[in-house]
Chain A
Amino acid sequence: MGRILTFEIFRYNPLDPRSMPHMQTFSLEEQRSMTLFVALNQIREHQDATLQFDFCCRAGICGSCGMVINGRPGLACHTQTSDLPERITLHPLPVFKLLGDLSVDTGTWFRNVGKKIESWLHTNKTFDPTAQEERMDNELATQIFELDRCIECGCCVAACGTALMRKDFIGATSINRMARFYIDPRDQRTPKDFYDLIGDDNGVFGCMGLLACDDICPKQIPLQDQLGIMRRMVSIESVRGWLPEGIRKRLGGGCGCGRHK
């Protein structure tokens, strides 16, 4: 017989005026290789059909099942109950709009921030659907792919102390997104363009280097390195015309991005 797990789950339905935020306790027998995703489905199926939480792929790809597990954001489908103590507390991800219980709307947040940082490839070239795709160095393609692995689960945003305090902060996921375009040779934006987009306290300068985003990311995307690369580039751009060019270029060198536009 497996352990008896006790789940304390945040319950609140913002659409129901009678609903009050509270914690509800459920008990469940642990099974082999049980994930939180399986446990939550069993609770919903056998104990309380009104329990709200999101899931889709069950494999850490869709980013729907992000929640705060014993105080730390993570994916329910990625989390084995055997890695947790018998008492498990679940909260919805903060920062995002609460839909109900453990379900939040990350989509609207990501759409808004995506528009703000212009999260798409900028080029003046006209797309020719009949032409062969431009060739790219394999190493560079791998680098871009590495940053493109973000599933927009929102865990890095929920783990960020700055994002919790300042609602306009764009978060590590957005800075990573900009870093992805920065190294893409098809994107014709200059450091000045990136500076205009993320060079303020809601952007890359708002990051306080707390690094919980890097530690929490379920996809292990190297967020810390991207924050460093982008901040240095944008910061040096911010003092263009103020600092002698020689010093500016020296400060900007060796940031490890592999490409300086």
Chain B
Amino acid sequence: MTDRNVPDARRNRLDFWQAASGAVLALFVCVHLLLEGTVVLSASLTNAIAWLLEATFVAQISAPIIVLLVVFHFYIAARKMPFRANELGIFVKHSRTLREPDTCLWLVQVFTAIIILLGVFFHVYTVMIDLPISVSRSAERMTSGWLPFYVIFLPCVVLHTGIGIYRLAVKYGYCTRATRQVWRKRIWIVMTCYLVLGFLAMTRVWFHG
């Protein structure tokens, strides 16, 4: 073997932590949206779940942890983002001329990541300063001007999570060339289901108010 510059181990673990934090956040989003979606069935059921999560302090403990995890995930993943003006210009022009769906989806991930980073503070702050969590209080927030925020925030979260899971599977070899089309199709189906569930839940909460 020849002499070589051995990579900085701490820095190179970042890729692992980016994947791990992304996977945990994706799992959280899936569970969170499902629990929120129970309002479509019954507002009492959602209130009961919220009560249980608060009584066991799961909500109070997990909320700041999730915010920190989002910041941590963004901080690590940001090293790949095209922050310099020429990088963004090069990438946008490249994705336009190349017409490759996965290249375009990465831009979607970058823009949704910035919206999520800003949105998660507002979302968690407004919910956690107004405990206990209940459908009535969510309805109050919706009718007092927060509806446009959630109409934008929800698709961003769903898109970023769905594309993120797909890309994670690609990067670590779970999604191969042979199964790529199936993965894509399934991810789009799941994202559509979550979007429909999310908007149904919002509609239900809106009329609850």
Contacts from A to B (Cβ < 8 Å): 68, 71-72, 118, 122, 159, 161-162, 164-165, 189, 193, 195-197, 199-201, 203, 205-212, 214-215, 222, 224-225, 227-229, 231-232, 235, 238-239, 242, 255-256
B100 & A208 in contact (Cβ 8 Å cutoff): no
User: With A195-B7, A224-B176, A228-B171 in contact, do A238 and B16 touch (Cβ < 8 Å)?
Assistant: yes
B174 & A228 in contact (Cβ 8 Å cutoff): yes
Partner of A118, one of B4, B11, B90, B98: B4
Residues of B within 8 A of A159 (CB): 98, 100
A161 & B103 in contact (Cβ 8 Å cutoff): yes
Residues of A within 8 A of B41 (CB): none
Residues of B within 8 A of A211 (CB): 100, 102, 170, 180
Residues of B within 8 A of A225 (CB): 173, 176-177
- Provide 17 A-B residue pairs closer than 8 Å at the C-beta atoms, listed in order of the A residue: A71-B96, A71-B98, A71-B99, A72-B97, A162-B80, A164-B91, A201-B15, A205-B12, A209-B171, A210-B106, A211-B102, A225-B173, A228-B170, A232-B173, A235-B19, A238-B12, A255-B173
B87, CB-defined interface residue at 8 Å: yes
Residue of B nearest to A207 (CB): B171
Partner of B167, one of A162, A203, A209, A238: A209
User: With A225-B177, A228-B172, A228-B174 in contact, do A199 and B7 touch (Cβ < 8 Å)?
Assistant: yes
Q: Bound complex: CA of A251 vs CA of B175, how far in Å?
A: 15
Q: Bound complex: CA of A214 vs CA of B1, how far in Å?
A: 31
Residue of A nearest to B6 (CB): A196
Residue of B nearest to A233 (CB): B173
Residues of A within 8 A of B90 (CB): 164-165
Residue of A nearest to B168 (CB): A209
Q: Bound complex: CA of A161 vs CA of B176, how far in Å?
A: 20
B144, CB-defined interface residue at 8 Å: no
B185, CB-defined interface residue at 8 Å: no
Residue of B nearest to A239 (CB): B16
What sequence of 0s and 1s flags, for each residue 1-21 of chain B, a beta carbon within 8 Å of any chain A beta carbon?
110101111011111100100
Residue of B6, B91, B170 contacting most chain A CB atoms (<10 Å):
B170
B94 & A242 in contact (Cβ 8 Å cutoff): no
Residues of A within 8 A of B8 (CB): 200
B9 to chain A, nearest CB (A): 7
B100 & A235 in contact (Cβ 8 Å cutoff): no
Residue of B nearest to A166 (CB): B87
User: With A164-B91, A201-B79 in contact, do A212 and B100 touch (Cβ < 8 Å)?
Assistant: yes
A242 to chain B, nearest CB (A): 7
Residue of A nearest to B77 (CB): A208
B7 & A200 in contact (Cβ 8 Å cutoff): yes
B98 & A212 in contact (Cβ 8 Å cutoff): yes
Residues of A within 8 A of B99 (CB): 71-72
